[in-house]
Structure 1
Amino acid sequence: MDIQLLKVFFTTAQEGSLSRAAQKLNFAQSNVTHKIQQLEADLQTQLFYRHNRGITLTPSGQILVSYAEKILHVIQEARLAVGDSAVPAGPLHIGSLETTAAVRLPALLTQYHTEYPAVDFSLITGPTEQHLHAVLHYELNGAFVSGPVEHPDVIQEHVIDEELVLVTAVSHPPVHTIQDVKLRTFLVFYSSCSYRAKLNQLLQEEGILPVKLMEFGSIETIIGCVGAGLGISLLPRCIITEAEQQGRIRCHEIPGKHAIVNTVFIRRKDALITPALSAFLSEMRTHFSS
């Protein structure tokens, strides 16, 4: 099987369009079409349905996509393994929860960059589900996510436990149970946020249906709106410590298992541990064990 043909097929499947694949590969569209036809002839099966709206993977094409992704990644790993020196260098893509990136990682990243300036480091923030998908598809070397993560292709390492607290305006009376705030508006992140999932679990176990949920895209906005009295939120204590000390918001402890969320670092079991990743894992373990 020709690797170049496989790359064209995989890119076309990802883009969902012959024209977009041609643009990404810097090929003429007729060239992309020809190479896919070559691969179909080689495999003696149709890989795409052609229709007025474009193309769609056939069942055979859907099967080949997963194999193509692994094959192309292994080839890239082979190039890295052969070309690697003992000195960490080259690209390293790490994902992180926004709160972890803001509070827990700055000192670690500064130390890592100082020690290994030849590494082309990039940090991508987002929710756990997004990072798990990216790790599984070789788009990230690893990620800090909410744990535990149960997946046969993933290795996870415990990093730190975060305490979750209810956050209200300063004028809000003490909160003894979640029932005390059941009539308030809850300010939350997007639906895939692990802190929102914890809040949902807590409310469900107490038999509470929230009166109203308001979604926001940033921690700063939620803290500001909570402080102004718009509603309440469930957030890691580490992220709101400064606002609490400034007298902008008030924190209330919650009991039991919902008070703690685990942060873990995940990576694929079968992925190559490059010198850059190996050095990062070492720095991470030292940083979070101290």
Structure 2
Amino acid sequence: MEFRDLEIFQLVAEKGTISEAADELNYVQSNITARIKKLEKEMNTPLFNRHRRGMSLTPEGKKLLTYSEKILALKKEMKQAVQTNKEPSGKLEIGTIETVIFLPRILSNYVNKYKEVDLSLITGVTQNLVDQVLDYKLDGAFISELDIHPDLVSYEVFEEELVLITSKHITKLEEIREESILCFSKGCGYRARLAEWWYKDQQIPPKKIMEFGTLETILRSTVMGLGVAFVPKSEVAQLEKQGLVRFHNLPEKYSKIKTVFVRRKDTYLTPTMEKFIETIENNKVDLKDQPMII
């Protein structure tokens, strides 16, 4: 079995078709098909269900995918561990929630100092990012601190305050009972905090929940009166100053939240990751002591 076969197998599993995997790798489709058949012969079992819409993993294929992710992650770690060059280099794949206000400063300090690193960034909600770190798909991620998985190690980045925001026409917290909740998809730490206060503490029956993909859309929708949102105060201070939204403060146990950076405990701490964590530590901020950035 070759590492390349596993890489191709993973890509076909992700894309769902031979043609898409071939296009991304710039291979002919027959090459991809031959690699998959070779791997199935070595495993002595079908790894994919073939159908008109493409390919989906069999139960055995799903098992192999789990091992494949670990094997390829170990391959990457092995290569980095034996490098004699201690200067950060290579790929670093990082995930982040959308509302890390000081992330550009951290990233710019890092990439300007370590120019041999190919850093890529994806956004998502906390739970999805955690899953990708646990599955070795990301080297690390900035997330909202909830219950940290035991297989992860976390590094505090900063603490901030969340506020419930409404359109300027809602003046009292009691008026929000019939309002829709505007939020990111399930797995968002802010959404979990609001749900805890809204449903459990206030015992307000769930009404309509509207999910959005970006913070900007959530804020614009709140200004237009579509509902209420629970967001970092630092992100909406200018809107409140302009009179476009109104703040409603919740108890500290719901409104105070930390952003942390997480990585797997069992992965080798490469110079590339070590210097990234060092950059985070050197740029730790307390939002209370920082001028507002708009």
TM-score range, shorter chain: 0.7 to 0.9
Q: Which residue of 1 aligns with 2:124?
A: 126
1:190 aligned onto 2:185: yes
Whether the 8 Å CA contact 1:182–1:210 is kept in 2: the answer is no
1:280 aligned onto 2:276: yes
Whether the 8 Å CA contact 2:92–2:120 is kept in 1: the answer is yes
Q: Which residue of 1 aligns with 2:42?
A: 42
Q: Which residue of 2 aligns with 1:117?
A: 115
The structural deviation recorded for 1:227 is 3.5
Q: 2:197 aligns with which of 191, 197, 202?
A: 202
Q: Which residue of 1 aligns with 2:167?
A: 169
Q: Which residue of 2 aligns with 1:243?
A: 239
Instruction: Assess, with a 3 A threshold, how the Cα gap between structure 1 residues 168 and 14 changes in structure 2: closer, same or farther.
Output: closer
Q: How far, CA to CA, are the matches of 1:26 and 1:223 in structure 2?
A: 41
Q: How far, CA to CA, are the matches of 2:193 and 2:211 in structure 1?
A: 15
Instruction: Assess, with a 3 A threshold, how the Cα gap between structure 1 residues 106 and 3 changes in structure 2: closer, same or farther.
Output: closer
Instruction: Assess, with a 3 A threshold, how the Cα gap between structure 1 residues 110 and 7 changes in structure 2: closer, same or farther.
Output: closer
Whether the 8 Å CA contact 1:12–1:21 is kept in 2: the answer is yes
Q: How far, CA to CA, are the matches of 1:218 and 1:51 in structure 2?
A: 35
1:253 aligned onto 2:245: no
1:269 aligned onto 2:265: yes
Q: How far, CA to CA, are the matches of 2:190 and 2:196 in structure 1?
A: 10
Give the letter for the 1:270 counterpart: D
Q: How far, CA to CA, are the matches of 2:21 and 2:113 in structure 1?
A: 39
Q: Which residue of 2 aligns with 1:17?
A: 17
Cα-to-partner distance string for 1:221-261 (whole Å, 9 max, x where unaligned): 33344334443322111211222233332212112522222
**What's the TM-score, normalizing by structure 2?**
0.83
Cα-to-partner distance string for 1:185-239 (whole Å, 9 max, x where unaligned): 4333334432222222222112212444444433333334433444332211121
Q: After alignment, is 131-140 or 62-71 more displaced?
A: 131-140
SS class of match (1:38) = helix
The structural deviation recorded for 1:99 is 1.0
Cα-to-partner distance string for 1:104-128 (whole Å, 9 max, x where unaligned): 2222223223332332223322211
Stretches of structure 1 that go unaligned for 5 or more consecutive residues are none
Cα-to-partner distance string for 1:23-79 (whole Å, 9 max, x where unaligned): 334333333333333333333333334455544433332222211122122222323
Instruction: Assess, with a 3 A threshold, how the Cα gap between structure 1 residues 212 and 33 changes in structure 2: closer, same or farther.
Output: closer
Give the letter for the 2:184 counterpart: F
Q: How far, CA to CA, are the matches of 1:272 and 1:240 in structure 2?
A: 39
The structural deviation recorded for 1:154 is 1.9
- How many residues get paired? 285
Q: Which residue of 1 aligns with 2:292?
A: none
Q: After alignment, is 276-285 or 48-57 more displaced?
A: 48-57
1:96 aligned onto 2:91: no
Q: After alignment, is 128-137 or 31-40 more displaced?
A: 31-40
Q: How far, CA to CA, are the matches of 1:31 and 1:82 in structure 2?
A: 32
Give the letter for the 1:73 counterpart: A
Q: Which residue of 1 aligns with 2:291?
A: none
Instruction: Assess, with a 3 A threshold, how the Cα gap between structure 1 residues 210 and 245 changes in structure 2: closer, same or farther.
Output: same
Indicate the RMSD between aligned Cα atoms, in angstroms: 2.7
The structural deviation recorded for 1:284 is 0.6
SS class of match (2:193) = helix
